[in-house]
């Protein structure tokens, strides 16, 4: 290890976008000659990539920081970094609150970590939260998997959902060029990746900020997310294509048609609905009604009857009555989702709804959350039963840590599946990783399956 080489430890909170950002920051630290360590107590550089989607997520970073601040007293050369959405949201205030920090950097500065660390090395305390154009990064992310990879296609969000902090902390939409996206996917295929997940806070907005004719569309022809799917679909070596997160306001019949047509696009859609009541959806500024949402689901099921559907839902939005909450329960029950990520409304600093009257009590919120989770688990269990006895294609991603005789992977519909290898169990991981195997499903639980290798 050269004198300059250091050990680094990254803690990531929050969504896939944050996880993908952490992979890129790890790649930059590797590029600088540093090495990752699982043990934070061994680290010379500690980076917290934070989430501020809800208050409890935000508070987590302060509890983690506590221990490192004590270490810093013993080791002044310890480098402490807070990145991500809390860094962007708090900025200068975070440095005042925790003056021991060396670097506070927002999500738009991820690709500049090396420059920022250079400034820290010259003794500065650095704050990087100004609006920035996200340059394409040349360094290779240190990815969590060798089989499936996240590929950012659009950063930021131009929507104004009244409960959401994302536009304030991740900035305006910035679409990557289709050519850069395709290059990254070709590089991944060359490295042996079999599956990619295209990422965006509002992926349906892809291309709105790009000049017309990005992939040779006619004059005035702006590229859309559907165009991008066709543009990257034929990359050899990639077997499965997934994407998240969709927005019901922009989810088009053309996209549904494309997903049904393009064989590599998996039959799983993540489309947050947030509430089943139109007045609440209006107050949230979501830009659609529950009727429109239901039509999208119907269109998907017409072309892909077995498609998996997942969503996000918020309970206890300011002013939400019992009757309006009942609409959310009704929509969940009518549609029968495979998974719904549920959360109680959490007022976020700077967002419109946080200032509103008629905030719902915590007791009411947790009661509604419990009732919704009960229904969601029930539906997930019912939905899982359809796999029993069926032949399912599983892309193997790793060994089951709890059951070494099993490998773990997912169906095309994104259901986690543990695969009994039987007599072939003695083969090592390298033999199985990235293999697509046929199985018969023998067990179905609410959120996972067990399959027997055929
Ligand atoms: S679409 Fe709405 S909820 Fe989603 S990131 Fe943008 S502002 Fe937030």
Give residue limits of the domains in the chain: 7-128, 148-386, 388-453
Distance of alpha carbon 336 from alpha carbon 380, whole angstroms: 8
- Asked if residue 166 has its Cβ within 6 Å of ligand 1, the reply is yes
Number of alpha carbons in the 13 Å side-chain half-sphere of residue 89: 21
Distance in Å from the first CA to the final CA of the chain: 47
Residue nearest to atom 8 of ligand 1 (CA): 164
Ligand 1 probe mutation, 159, 174, 206, most atoms within 8 A of CB: 159
Average pLDDT of the segment spanning 223-234: 97
CA 17 to chain centre: 5
Q: In Å, what is the CA distance from 316 to each residue of 160, 294, 310, 312, 369?
A: 19, 22, 20, 14, 8
- Asked if residue 247 has its Cβ within 6 Å of ligand 1, the reply is yes
What pLDDT does 399 receive? 92
Q: In Å, what is the CA distance from 202 to each residue of 206, 245, 253, 312?
A: 8, 6, 17, 13
What pLDDT does 83 receive? 97
**In terms of Cα–Cα distance, which of 154, 153, 150 is closest to 141?**
150
Average pLDDT of the segment spanning 302-307: 98
- Asked if residue 274 has its Cβ within 6 Å of ligand 1, the reply is no
What pLDDT does 328 receive? 98
Cβ-based neighbours of 181, under 8 Å, separated by 6 or more = 151, 153, 198, 228, 232
- Asked if residue 244 has its Cβ within 6 Å of ligand 1, the reply is no
Residue nearest to atom 2 of ligand 1 (CA): 161
Q: How many residues does the chain have?
A: 454
Ligand 1 probe mutation, 14, 15, 107, 164, most atoms within 8 A of CB: 164
What pLDDT does 441 receive? 98
What pLDDT does 421 receive? 86
- Contact call for residues 8 and 27 (beta carbons, < 8 A): no
Note the pTM of the prediction, 2 decimals: 0.94
Distance 273 CA to ligand 1 centre (A): 11
Distance 393 CA to ligand 1 centre (A): 33
- Asked if residue 202 has its Cβ within 6 Å of ligand 1, the reply is yes
- Asked if residue 351 has its Cβ within 6 Å of ligand 1, the reply is no
If you classify domain 388-453 with CATH, what class do you get? mainly beta
> Which is the closest atom of ligand 1 to the Cα of 247?
1
Ligand 1 probe mutation, 201, 283, 343, most atoms within 8 A of CB: 201
If you classify domain 7-128 with CATH, what class do you get? alpha beta
- Contact call for residues 425 and 435 (beta carbons, < 8 A): no
Residue 138 predicted with pLDDT over 80: no
CA 41 to chain centre: 28
Q: What are phi and psi of 218, to 5 degrees?
A: -60, 170
pLDDT tens sequence across 33-62: 999 999 999 999 999 999 998 878 778 888
What is the average pLDDT value for the chain, to the nearest integer?
Answer: 94
**In terms of Cα–Cα distance, which of 142, 185, 152, 192 is closest to 32?**
142
- Asked if residue 167 has its Cβ within 6 Å of ligand 1, the reply is yes
- The dotted CATH code for 148-386 is 3.80.30.20
Q: Strand runs (DSSP E) across 153-239, as ranges?
A: 154-155, 174-175, 195-199
Residue 426 predicted with pLDDT over 80: no
Helix (H) or strand (E) holding 405: none
Distance 99 CA to ligand 1 centre (A): 32
234-266 b/e with 16+ CB inside 10 Å = b?
A: ebeebbbbbbbbbbbebbeeebbebbbebebbb
- Contact call for residues 196 and 148 (beta carbons, < 8 A): yes
> Which is the closest atom of ligand 1 to the Cα of 245?
4
3-class DSSP state of 401: coil
- Asked if residue 161 has its Cβ within 6 Å of ligand 1, the reply is yes
Per-position DSSP letters for 192-205, written without gaps between them: T--EEEEE-TTGGG
Helical spans, DSSP H, in 248-307: 253-261, 278-283, 290-303
What strands lie across the sheet with 103-105, from one edge to the other?
A: 35-36, 7-12, 45-50, 79-84, 103-105, 126-128
Q: Which residue has the higher pLDDT, 295 or 133?
A: 295
- Asked if residue 44 has its Cβ within 6 Å of ligand 1, the reply is no
Range in 126-140, 166-180, 315-329, 334-348 the model is least confident about: 126-140
Give 186's pLDDT tier (boundaries 50, 70, 90). very high
DSSP 257: H
- Asked if residue 164 has its Cβ within 6 Å of ligand 1, the reply is yes
Query: Residue for token digits 């302060």?
Result: 62
- Contact call for residues 268 and 305 (beta carbons, < 8 A): no
What pLDDT does 53 receive? 83
Ligand 1 probe mutation, 14, 162, 167, most atoms within 8 A of CB: 167
Give 220's pLDDT tier (boundaries 50, 70, 90). low
Average pLDDT of the segment spanning 119-125: 94
> Which is the closest atom of ligand 1 to the Cα of 286?
2
What pLDDT does 107 receive? 95
Number of alpha carbons in the 13 Å side-chain half-sphere of residue 29: 26
Distance 426 CA to ligand 1 centre (A): 46
**In terms of Cα–Cα distance, which of 452, 386, 392, 395 is closest to 419?**
452
- Asked if residue 159 has its Cβ within 6 Å of ligand 1, the reply is yes
Distance of alpha carbon 392 from alpha carbon 212, whole angstroms: 41
Distance 119 CA to ligand 1 centre (A): 33
Distance 331 CA to ligand 1 centre (A): 21
CA 289 to chain centre: 25
> Which is the closest atom of ligand 1 to the Cα of 274?
3
Ligand 1 probe mutation, 160, 165, 202, most atoms within 8 A of CB: 202
3-class DSSP state of 247: coil
> Which is the closest atom of ligand 1 to the Cα of 160?
7
- Asked if residue 343 has its Cβ within 6 Å of ligand 1, the reply is no
What pLDDT does 217 receive? 52
Distance of alpha carbon 361 from alpha carbon 318, whole angstroms: 9
- Asked if residue 14 has its Cβ within 6 Å of ligand 1, the reply is no
What pLDDT does 1 receive? 45
């Amino acid at each position: 290890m050269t004198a300059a080489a250091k050990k680094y430890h990254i803690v990531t909170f929050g969504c896939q976008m944050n996880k993908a950002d952490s992979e890129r920051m790890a790649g930059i630290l590797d590029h600088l000659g540093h090495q990752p360590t699982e043990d934070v107590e061994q680290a010379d550089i500690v980076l917290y990539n934070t989430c501020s989607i809800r208050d409890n997520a935000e508070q987590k970073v302060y509890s983690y920081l506590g221990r490192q601040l004590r270490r810093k007293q013993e080791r002044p050369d310890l480098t402490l970094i807070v990145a991500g959405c809390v860094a962007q949201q708090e900025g200068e205030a975070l440095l005042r609150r925790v003056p021991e920090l060396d670097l506070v950097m927002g999500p738009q500065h991820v690709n500049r970590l090396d420059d920022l660390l250079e400034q820290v090395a010259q003794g500065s305390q650095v704050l990087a939260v100004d609006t920035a154009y996200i340059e394409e990064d040349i360094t290779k992310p240190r990815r969590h998997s060798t089989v499936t990879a996240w590929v950012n296609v659009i950063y930021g969000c131009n929507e104004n959902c009244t409960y959401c902090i994302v536009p304030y902390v991740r900035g305006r939409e910035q679409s990557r060029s289709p050519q850069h996206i395709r290059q990254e996917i070709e590089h991944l295929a060359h490295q042996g990746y079999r599956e990619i997940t295209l990422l965006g806070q509002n992926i349906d907005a892809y291309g709105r900020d790009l000049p017309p004719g990005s992939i040779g569309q006619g004059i005035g022809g702006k590229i859309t997310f559907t165009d991008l799917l066709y543009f990257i679909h034929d990359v050899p070596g990639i077997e499965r294509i997934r994407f998240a997160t969709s927005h019901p306001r922009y989810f088009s019949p053309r996209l549904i048609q494309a997903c049904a047509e393009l064989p590599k696009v998996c039959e799983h859609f993540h489309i947050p609905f947030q509430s089943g009541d139109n007045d609440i959806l209006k107050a949230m500024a979501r830009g659609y009604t529950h009727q429109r949402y239901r039509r999208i689901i119907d269109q998907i099921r017409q072309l892909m009857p077995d498609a998996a559907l997942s969503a996000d839902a918020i309970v206890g939005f300011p002013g939400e009555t019992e009757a309006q909450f009942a609409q959310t329960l009704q929509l969940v029950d009518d549609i029968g989702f495979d998974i719904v990520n549920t959360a109680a409304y959490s007022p976020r600093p700077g967002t419109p709804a946080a200032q509103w009257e008629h905030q719902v009590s915590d007791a009411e919120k947790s009661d509604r959350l419990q009732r919704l989770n009960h229904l969601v688990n029930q539906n997930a269990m019912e939905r899982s039963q359809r796999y029993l006895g069926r032949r399912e294609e599983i892309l193997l991603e790793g060994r089951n840590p709890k059951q070494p005789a099993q490998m773990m992977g997912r169906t095309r519909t994104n259901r986690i599946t543990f695969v009994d290898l039987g007599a072939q169990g003695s083969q090592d991981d390298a033999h199985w990783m990235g293999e697509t195997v046929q199985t018969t499903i023998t067990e179905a639980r609410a959120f996972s399956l067990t399959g027997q290798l055929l």
